[in-house]
Amino acid sequence: LKDEAKYRACAEAKTIACFYVDDDWDASFYLKSLIADFRADPYILHSVTDSYTFYTNLIWSYFDNTIDLHAGFSWIGCGSIFLREYAQRHLQYLQIHLKNHRHLKYFSDVFFSIWLNDIPSQLNMFIRNLPGSHTGASFSSTLEFLQYQYQSAVLAIRILEHNLRQNQSNDTNYIAFPRRQNRRFPYCVKSSSPKDGFIFFTNILPMDIQTIPFNISKDFERGTRTNLPRGPKIAFSYSHTTLKAVDNDPKTCWRPGRNVRQGEYFAMDFLYIRTNLSFSVTIGHSLKIQKNVDINLSFDGLWWITYRAIKGITIKSHNSTSNHQQYVIIFNSTEFNSGFHSFRFIAFNASRVSSLGEFQVCDVKIITNTTIRTL
């Protein structure tokens, strides 16, 4: 059964959602973040991958507003959570749409995320193999696998695009592909902290995936290995990914590589509502940029309130070993104004147009010591 087996197992589950991870990956160090991310936005696929694959998956996106196409790709083997009903529906899709391609049911992972017709939420992580998991050549490295993966990727988008464009079927067993996006949050880049205590994220993607034109007649190979990222853009993104903001190394920074634009932000999800939380953010951008952002707090990531005071916020200069000026900002919500002591999300939003430079976040840490020393 190969890939199909995991969806059959999930379809029989007694829970509303399923967690899946291949037996060669260690998901323990980001599991809490993955669960919290799913609970905040349960109607999309949540998964984990490395920086290069994340960038590749962005390239393997498909948008066409005229037919409600907004699909994206993600492997699920490094850790994923999805609704049981999605697995049940996927099995029905396989029966209907692969009846003339039965051998490709073994590669149903390739079809799953695309046929959900919504961009997955992916944690961009340093993924780790379990000890002893690499013994002998894997099936994914064989020529047969690569051939079937190519066929599956091309067929998946062809079937989805055709059915969305046709919008009808004479088959009484036909089950329509979803047209409406059920996601609660915008597309973001996310990375979990090393101790799995929070998620750093931003709505600044390495590319504007929604404006990349798609034409099935010439772009049908978009989601295949013939379309892998190369060149300076992927090199820059890999060197300044969101992981660099949570790697405990202030010398490395998340950077988008361009001036910040109105409405863009970086943010932290502390996984659950915290009270009297203390944390620090080391920035590489100027204080002028920082003073032009709004600090917004939220319990659920949907409804926000702006914290306009400076009470509980301390800034000190920090010279990194690279001789680049940095600032450490300490937030002690115990000292925040009344009514602002508890929150789950905090976002730093560029609410005004700015040409002052780019965001640079070099380190984010939760301060466990309950006594905060004034700097």
SS3 content of the chain, % helix, strand, coil (to 5): 30, 25, 45
Alpha helices (runs of H) in the chain, residue ranges in sequence order: 3-11, 31-40, 51-59, 84-97, 108-115, 143-166, 216-219, 232-239, 287-290
Q: What is the pLDDT of residue 171?
A: 56
Q: What is the pLDDT of residue 52?
A: 94
Residues 135, 223, 243, 232, Cα dihedral to 10°: 110
Residue listed under structure tokens 């932000």: 265
The SS3 call for residue 268 is: strand
Q: What is the pLDDT of residue 371?
A: 40
Print pLDDT tens along the chain (375 aa).
678 999 999 999 999 999 999 988 999 999 999 999 999 999 999 999 999 999 999 999 999 999 999 999 999 999 999 999 999 999 999 999 998 988 888 889 999 999 999 999 999 999 999 887 665 555 566 678 889 999 999 999 999 999 999 875 555 556 789 898 999 999 999 999 999 999 999 999 999 999 999 999 999 999 999 999 888 889 998 899 999 999 999 999 999 999 999 999 999 999 999 999 999 999 999 999 998 899 999 999 999 999 999 999 999 987 766 667 899 999 999 999 999 999 999 999 998 766 678 999 999 999 975 444 443
Q: What angle do CA 250, 256, 257 make, to 5 degrees?
A: 100
DSSP string, 287-336: HHHHTTSEEEEESSSSS-EE----TTEEEEEEE-TTS-EEEEEEEEGGGS
DSSP string, 67-85: GTEEE-----TT-EEEEHH
The SS3 call for residue 267 is: strand
Residues 144-152: contacts with CB under 8 Å, at least 24 apart: 146/225, 148/103, 148/104, 148/106, 148/107, 149/107, 149/110, 149/224, 149/225, 150/224, 150/225, 150/226, 151/101, 151/104, 152/104, 152/107, 152/110, 152/111
Q: Which amino acid is at 5?
A: A
Domain ranges of the chain: 1-243, 248-375
CATH topology of domain 248-375: Jelly Rolls (2.60.120)
The model's pTM: 0.91
Residues 257, 307, 123, 356, Cα dihedral to 10°: 0
56 vs 53: CA distance, rounded Å: 5
Distance between alpha carbon 352 and the CA centroid of its chain, in Å? 26
Contacts of 132 (CB under 8 A, 6+ apart): none
Residues 6, 109, 196, 252, Cα dihedral to 10°: 160
End-to-end CA distance of the chain: 60
Bridge partners of residue 48, in order along the sequence? 123
313 vs 203: CA distance, rounded Å: 24
Bridge partners of residue 211, in order along the sequence? none
DSSP state of 237: H
307-319 burial: b if 16+ Cβ within 10 Å, else e = beeeebebbeebe
Q: Which amino acid is at 245?
A: A
Torsion angles phi and psi, residue 11, rounded to 5: -60, -25
CB neighbour class for 323 (10 Å; exposed up to 12, middle 13-18, buried from 19): exposed
Q: What is the pLDDT of residue 195?
A: 94
Contacts of 2 (CB under 8 A, 6+ apart): 106, 107
CB neighbour class for 148 (10 Å; exposed up to 12, middle 13-18, buried from 19): middle
